[in-house]
Amino acid sequence: MSTLAISAYTASSAAGVGKAAVARALHEGRSGLTPNDLDWAPLPCWIGHIRSLNGDQEVEIPQSLREFDCRNNRLALLALEQDGFVTAVGRARERFGSARVGVFIGTSTSGILSTEIAYQHRDAQSGRLPTDYRYETTHNLDATTEFVRKVLGLTGPAMTISTACSSSAKVFCLAERFIRLGLIDAAVVGGVDSLCHTTLYGFNSLQLVSPDVCRPFDIARRGLSIGEAAGFALLEKSSSSASLQLQGYGETSDAHHMSTPHPEGEGAQRAMLDALDRAGLTPKDIDYLNLHGTATLANDRAEGRAVHAVFGGTVACSSTKGFTGHTLGAAGITEAAIALLCMEHDFIPGCPTIQNVDPETHCNIVLKGRSEQVGRVMSNSFGFGGSNCALLFGKVA
C-alpha cells in the first residue's frame, strides 16, 4: 500500500468537542459519559451525549442546506467547524481541484431519528408521515455524506460505508485504494452517528446496554454505553513534511454470527495481521493498541484473545469507550483521532471506568494514562455482521 499523510483531523464526542478538549479529557482521565437524561428515550443507562447539539444557537445549518437539517447533520457540522478543518480542506481543494478530493463517510444509522420522530406524528386517519418530513436529506445513509460534500464544496467521488461499528474505520482503507490508483489526490474521510431510539432500544433488546457506566475489560462489566460522535480526517499522498501517517490496514469478515464476534476473534486477528503486513511491521513495532473494547462480555473476551494471539501480553492497550461511549458508526474515526492525538502528545490513555481488570484478559490493559513515546498505534473496530477493521498509524519525526 501507499503511506498516506494525515494533513488535518478533528473529532467531537461526549469526551469533548474538538481535539484539544478530547486530549484534555484523556490526560485528566475524565469520562464524558453521564446518566441518561434524554426525556425522549428514558432508558436506565449511561450515554455519551454532546449537549451543545441541543440548542439551535450552537449549530446552525446554512440556509442553502436547510433541507439537510437533522441531529446527525448538525453533529457533522459541529465537528467540521472545529480545529480549522474546513480551512485545511479548502487548501486541498485549491491545490488539487474540487473533483480530485473524495469524500468517504461512515455511519450506522445516519439521521434515522428524523424518521423515528416522523412515525410518532403520523396522520391518524391516513397513516401518512408529516409533510415536513424529508427522507433523502436526513435519514438516507448517504444524507450526511452529501451534506459534508456540499459544506466542503467538493465534487470528487463520494460514498457512504455502512458496516455497523467498523464503518468509519473502513473509509480509511477505501481512500487509500482510491489515492493509490490515482483517481483522486486527497480524501476527506470520517464518521458521524448521533443518539437515536433505534440504537438505544435496539442494543437494549439484545441485553447489551449496561445500566451502569460501561466498563470495558472490567470483571464487573455489564455492557455498553451508547454515545454520539463525529470526526474527520484529510488524507493525502505522503509528502516529506507530513508527520502523521496511515501506514497499514486490514479488513476481514468473521463469517460467524450476525451480532456476536467469533469467540477467538479469528477475523480480528487476521485484520490486525494484515495491517502489520501492509505496513511491513511486526507486533513489537506497535507502541499502543486502541481496543474496540465495547464492554460487552462477548466482544471483550474475543478481542482479548485475538490481541493476545497477535501481540502476546505486552503491548499497551486500552479501550477509550469509557471516555466517549460506543459511538457505533463513528467509533472508527473517533478512535483513529485518539490514536493520532496519542502520537502528537506522546501519551497513552487509560480506562477511566475500570476498577478491576477481568483476570481472563491476557492483555496489558493500561488503567491510568501516562506520558510515553508513541510512534505507532493500531486501532481496532469491529461491527455487526462480523465486519472487522484494524488501522495502523505512525508518526515520522
Partner 1 sequence: MRISIDAVGVLAPGLPDWETAKTVLAERSGYIAAPLEAPQPACLAAAERRRSSPTVRLAIAVVEQALQQTALAPPDMAMVFSSYEAAGLITHQLCEVLAGSREVSPTQFHNSVHNAPSGYYSIAMNARRAGSSVCRGEWSFAAGLLNAVVQVVAENAPVLYVCYDSPLPSPMCEVMPVLESTAIALVLTPAGGPSSLATWDVAIAPCKGAVAWQNWVPFLWYANASARGFAALELLANPGCRAAALPLSPELNLEVKRC
Which cell goes with 58?
450552537
Shortest gap between Cβ of 71 and partner 1 (angstroms)? 15
Helices (H) and strands (E) in the chain, counts: 11, 17
Tell me the pairing of strands 387-395 and 376-383.
antiparallel
First to last CA, the chain: 21
Residue 96 touching partner 1 (CB under 8 A): no
For partner 1, give the closer residue by CB, 134 or 221: 134
Applying CB under 8 A, does 197 fall inside the site for partner 1? yes
Of 22 and 164, CB closest to partner 1: 164
Q: Are 370 and 347 in contact (CB under 8 A)?
A: yes
Three-class SS state of 124: coil
Choose among 176, 180, 145, 152: nearest CA to 94.
Answer: 152
Q: Is 378 in the site for partner 1 (CB under 8 A)?
A: no
Considering only 67, 81, 116, 212, the residue that binds partner 1 (CB under 8 A) is: 116
If one asks whether residue 198 binds partner 1 (CB under 8 A), the answer comes out as yes
Residues with a known catalytic role: 165, 292, 326
Considering only residues 162 through 181, tell me which ones interact with partner 1, judged by CB under 8 A.
162-164, 170, 173-174, 177-178, 180-181
**Which of 37, 66, 90, 206 lies at the binding interface for partner 1 (CB under 8 A)?**
206
Rounded distance between C-alpha atoms, residue 301 and residue 286, angstroms: 21
Q: Interface with partner 1 by CB under 8 A: which range of 10-18, 76-84, 153-161, 345-353?
A: 153-161
Confirm or reject binding of residue 127 to partner 1 (CB under 8 A).
Answer: yes
**Contacts within 8 Å (CB) and 24+ apart, 299-302:** 299/261, 299/382, 300/216, 300/217, 300/221, 300/358, 300/361, 301/263, 301/358, 301/360, 302/261, 302/262, 302/263, 302/264, 302/265, 302/268
Q: Please give the residue ranges that form the binding site for partner 1 (CB under 8 A).
A: 99, 108, 112, 115-116, 118-120, 122, 127-129, 133-136, 140-143, 145-146, 155, 157-164, 170, 173-174, 177-178, 180-181, 183, 197-198, 201-206, 251-259, 267, 270, 383-387
